[in-house]
Chain A
Amino acid sequence: MTRQGAVFAGLAVLLLAAMTTALSAGRYAIAPGDVLTLASGWIGIGPGRAGVAEPVWRVVELVRVPRMLIGGFVGAGLALSGAILQGVFRNPLVDPHVIGVSSGAAFGGVLAILLGLGAAVLWSMAFAFGLFAVVLVIGLSRRAGQSSILMLVLSGVVVAALFAALVSLATYFADPNSTLPAIVFWLMGSFASATPERAWRMIPILTACAVPLLLMRFRINILSLGDEEARGLGLRVERTRWLALACVTGITAASVANSGIVGWVGLVVPHFARALVGPDHRVLLPAAALLGASYMLLVDTLARSVIAAEIPLGVLTAIIGAPVFMLLLRRSHGDESWRT
């Protein structure tokens, strides 16, 4: 087996282990054997539900499976988005927050909570404002029909700052007894709201956005050469970049709408994946997606099992992500895996 094959086999095993852990660990511990019995039942092998106690299959199928699916898909999507943006913007410090989509989505969600609207409206508003923020960024960055990477990043920073201010304003007006805590906890991120219905809403959106990104992985290599070289190689740079940004926007907006702002995954996981398989996006993108899913599942399992209350996900991803990122950077320093 090639080194690459071995890495992917390892990532697949890691993901399976993370999935099993996500289904069995928690405040209501379930034996991995029971999880296995249930899982084989889904594909028609063995007794399935009949082989385990009723609370066990109810917890697994109604609570943990939806949560595992959403967590895994969001983790994979954010890591994939981060890897794409780092390639397209040729910048190692870029993650899905940079194009303004997270801040826009956060404001949409906060506004919905402030106005006392229901969960479905919150989801739609967060998604809509996320898209709106990106449209704003694109509008600002275009000059004479062209838009440079620098203008895109600058516009992203400006729009993100604007929506961050609006979030602060909304928080300031929130009722400290009811809506304020709701806003704060939503912003910190969690998969606690996972239900089978939500999973069925999220998975098609995330898949529809992730599949084109994975398919255009060779084009991302070309885009990472910079506009002029890519154009010189015959690429329609702007069209390709907008397509990639549109897909990333869909993934990020859906993720924030569902589970608040979960930072660091889109920044750290691509770096880790690059250290494993190298910079070629043809292998980097699938590796980042697999690793992102495993990472998110493990972090979420930690978040809901370490203490009696759930630790907000965004807090945990930052506490783990920041030092890991620092280590990665220090290790790769002599290696110059980024020639900036």
Chain B
Amino acid sequence: MIAANALGFRHPGQSAWLFRDLDFHLERGQTLALLGRNGRGKTTLLKCLAGLLTPVEGTIARDGAVGYVPQAFASPFPYSVFDVVLMGRARHVGLFSTPTAEDRARAREAIAEIGLDAFADRRIDTLSGGERQLALIARALAAQAEILLLDEPASALDFRNQAKLLALLRTLSRERGLTILMTTHDPTHALEIADRAVLLHGGGHAEEGAVADMCAEDRLTALYGLEMRRLEFDAGGRSAAGILPHYGAGYPRL
């Protein structure tokens, strides 16, 4: 469970709120998507929820360990995938100790769960963007996180890898009962796996609701300042939905 109550944030020394009076409540196994234009506070909200930033107003309640998955692995050191995942155990390793056999076993389990076995000994800088993203998720799993916070997990991936990632996240929430919050620039992703969505309109205006309502055409059009269309189509007998921008409707003025 993770819940926000009247959450508000603005940067120190600035009068404009990024978001304000934001409430939501996510149960175990639910998924929430954070949508909004660049600079409207998606990552900031995620960091507040991860405890990396302190909200200016409001409170956050969580009943489980939080695993923050950054957009990219930023260390200049070419650690092996196994070493990276093992670092997820930091919380469980004392200041003057090193990981135990149990820590290593948990790291191996997490790697196996994500299906990265074959890559365990590879240097992380030799992996593709999609595989690196998976390694970071494995690290959060090794940390025994029950709430996953992902910062644009799919933004650097091709369509096929996006599908794999979404399938993995769906499995983690449905079968493992993980609570998942992710920022994304693709409303289709929200529609695909999320139960709820938060729209950050900027200027302190934020709304939260069921994903179908939040991804209504008029709402998204207002959110992005661009004509957005929802398309329903038949994909092998199963009805699917996608959301596309109508770029040609008039490019925004530069």
Distance A243 CA – B87 CA, assembled complex (angstroms)? 20
Q: How far is the CA of A219 from the CA of B86 in the complex (A)?
A: 12
**A225-B70 Cα distance, complex, nearest whole Å:** 11
**Residue tally, chain A, CB below 8 Å to B:** 35
Of residues 228 through 252 on chain A, the ones whose CB sits less than 8 Å from some CB of chain B are 228-235, 240, 243
CB pair B75–A224 under 8 Å, yes or no, is: yes
Interface string of B42-76 (1 = CB under 8 A from A): 00000100111000000000000001101000111
Q: Which of A233, A337, A340 contacts B143 (CB 8 A)?
A: A233
Contact B143 A234 (CB under 8 A): yes
A235–B95 CA distance with the chains assembled, in angstroms: 9
Interface size band for B? 20 to 34
Contact of A337 with B78 in the complex, beta carbons under 8 Å? yes
Q: Are A226 and B74 in contact (CB under 8 A)?
A: yes
Q: Is B233 part of the contact surface with A, judged by Cβ < 8 Å?
A: no
Does the CB pair A218–B98 fall under 8 Å?
yes
| Contact between B78 and A233, CB atoms less than 8 A apart | no
Of the candidates A91, A228, A240, the one whose C-beta lies within 8 Å of that of B95 is: A240
Q: Does A225 lie within 8 Å of B87, measured CB to CB?
A: yes
Give the contact stretch, choosing among A20-28, A152-160, A209-217, A289-297.
A209-217
Q: Are B90 and A222 in touch, CB under 8 angstroms?
A: yes
Contact of A218 among B52, B93, B143 (CB under 8 A): B93
* Proximity bits, B68-105, A CB within 8 Å = 1, else 0: 10100011111110010001101101011111000000
Q: Is A221 an interface residue (CB 8 A)?
A: yes
Partner of B76 from A92, A144, A215 at Cβ < 8 Å? A92
Q: Which residues of B contact A212 (CB under 8 A)?
A: 96
| B88 partner residues in chain A, CB cutoff 8 A | 233
Is there an interface contact between A229 and B77, defined as CB atoms closer than 8 Å?
Answer: no
List of B residues within 8 angstroms of A41 by Cβ: none
Assess A340 versus B52: contact at CB under 8 Å? Given A234-B91, A234-B143.
no
- A221 x B96 contact (CB < 8 A): no
Tell me which residues across on chain B come within 8 A of A144, comparing CB atoms: 12
B207 interfacial contact with A, CB 8 Å:
no
**Per-position 1/0 for B229-252, Cβ under 8 A of A:** 000000000000000000000000
Interface of A is mostly: loop
Say yes or no: is A279 at the interface (Cβ < 8 Å to chain B).
yes
B195 at the interface (CB under 8 A from A): no
Mask of B121-138 contacts with A, CB within 8 angstroms, 1/0: 000010000000000000
Q: How far is the CB of B52 from chain A (nearest CB, A)?
A: 6
Residue pair A279, B90 in contact (C-beta under 8 Å): no
The complex places the Cα of A255 from the Cα of B92 at a distance, in Å, of: 35
A148 to chain B, nearest CB (A): 14
Instruction: Point out the residue from B70, B79, B83, B95 that lies within 8 Å of A229, measured CB to CB.
Output: B70
Distance in angstroms between the alpha carbons of A282 and B67 in the assembled complex: 24
The verdict on A175 contacting chain B, using a C-beta distance below 8 Å, is: no
- Expressed in whole angstroms, the minimum distance between the Cβ of A289 and any Cβ of chain B is 16
Cα separation A224 to B68 with both chains bound (whole Å)? 17
User: Nearest CB to that of B69 among chain A residues?
Assistant: A232
B12 (CB) vs chain A CBs: closest residue = A144
> Would A235 and B90 be within 8 Å (CB), given that A217-B98, A224-B77 are in contact?
yes
A336 within 8 A of B: yes
Contact of B78 among A90, A226, A279 (CB under 8 A): A279
Q: Is A330 an interface residue (CB 8 A)?
A: no
Decide if B90 touches A234 in the complex (CB within 8 Å): yes
Known A225-B75, A234-B143, A279-B77; contact A218-B68, beta-carbon cutoff 8 A? no
Query: Assuming A217-B98, A218-B90, A340-B76, what are 12 further A-B pairs, CB within 8 angstroms?
Result: A92-B76, A215-B96, A216-B95, A222-B87, A225-B74, A226-B75, A228-B70, A229-B68, A278-B78, A337-B78, A339-B76, A339-B125
Task: List 9 A–B pairs whose Cβ atoms lie within 8 Å, in order of A's numbering.
Answer: A87-B77, A218-B90, A219-B95, A225-B75, A230-B90, A231-B52, A240-B95, A279-B79, A338-B76
Cβ-closest 3 pairs across A and B = A232-B68, A234-B91, A279-B77
A interface, CB within 8 angstroms of B: 87, 90-92, 144, 212, 215-219, 221-222, 224-226, 228-235, 240, 243, 278-280, 282, 336-340
